[in-house]
Structure 1
Amino acid sequence: MSVSISRQHWQALLGELESAQRQRHVVTYRAMIERLALPSPAMQTLAAALEHLAALDARAERPLRSALVISQGASRLPRTGFFECVSRLGRFSGASDGVAAASWHAAEVARVFEFTYSEDL
């Protein structure tokens, strides 16, 4: 199934990620879906948008803003699909859970917090 995100939701997503970056916070998938008021299938739409953004950031050799969106579970890591995506992009290799994933994710979040993104999207 193919999903797409409206221009309005895309701009709102970028705004929420910018706010999270500025405040040096991560945000859960659930909170992001609620803030954006995404229509069904909300999780698939958000995941597709975050993967698209990761590809854009990777192509521009920027830290991956999509790393700021995490699961609300105990791991406090993004979902498995995020790690599959960043593996395809050549940014991470390894299991999507465990120490390597947690360490890579923490470093990527720190990179996002320190980076200055331009308004070129």
Structure 2
Amino acid sequence: MTLRISRQHWQGLLEALEEARCQRHLLTYRSLIERLQLPPPAMTTLAAALEYLAALDVQAGQPLRSALVISQGASRLPRPGFFECVGRLGRFSGAPDGTAAAAWHAAEVVRVFEFEFVGGSE
């Protein structure tokens, strides 16, 4: 199944992530879905868009902006699918939970906060 995100939603996603980066804070999946008003299947669409963005960032040799999106649960980490995606992209290896994932994620968030993204889109 191929999922698509509208140009308006894509631009909104990039703007939300840039705003979060500038303010040095993280976003939850739920807050992004609500902010973007993504139609069902919202979580699946958002996850696919974040994975696509991660691939673009890897191609450009940049930190992963998608690392700014976390679960609202106790872990305060991205969902396991994020770690599987970045593993496929060669940026992380290990279990999607636990101390290694938390440490890698914390370091990646710092990299995103300190990086100046040019243009903000593809």
TM-score tier after normalising by the smaller chain length:
over 0.9
| Aligned-pair Cα RMSD in Å | 0.6
- Counterpart of 1:10 in structure 2 is 10
Aligned length: 121
Matched, 1:79 2:44: no
TM-score w.r.t. the length of structure 1 is 0.99
Offset of residue 46 of structure 1: 0.1
Matches within 5 A, 1:12-31: 12-31=12-31
CA distance in structure 1 between the aligned counterparts of 2:4 and 2:51, rounded to whole angstroms: 12
Which letter maps to 2:91? R
Matches within 5 A, 1:1-121: 1-119=1-119, 120-121=121-122
Which letter maps to 1:105? H
Q: Deviations over 1:6-46 (max 9, x none)?
A: 00000000000000000000000000000000000000000
1:2 is paired with a residue of what secondary structure?
A: coil
TM-score w.r.t. the length of structure 2 is 0.98
Runs of 4+ in 1 over 3 A off after TM superposition: none
Percentage of pairs with the same residue:
73
Which letter maps to 1:53? L
Offset of residue 2 of structure 1: 1.9
Q: Deviations over 1:43-97 (max 9, x none)?
A: 0000000000000000111000000000000000000000000000000000000
Offset of residue 3 of structure 1: 1.0
CA distance in structure 1 between the aligned counterparts of 2:61 and 2:74, rounded to whole angstroms: 30
Which letter maps to 2:36? L
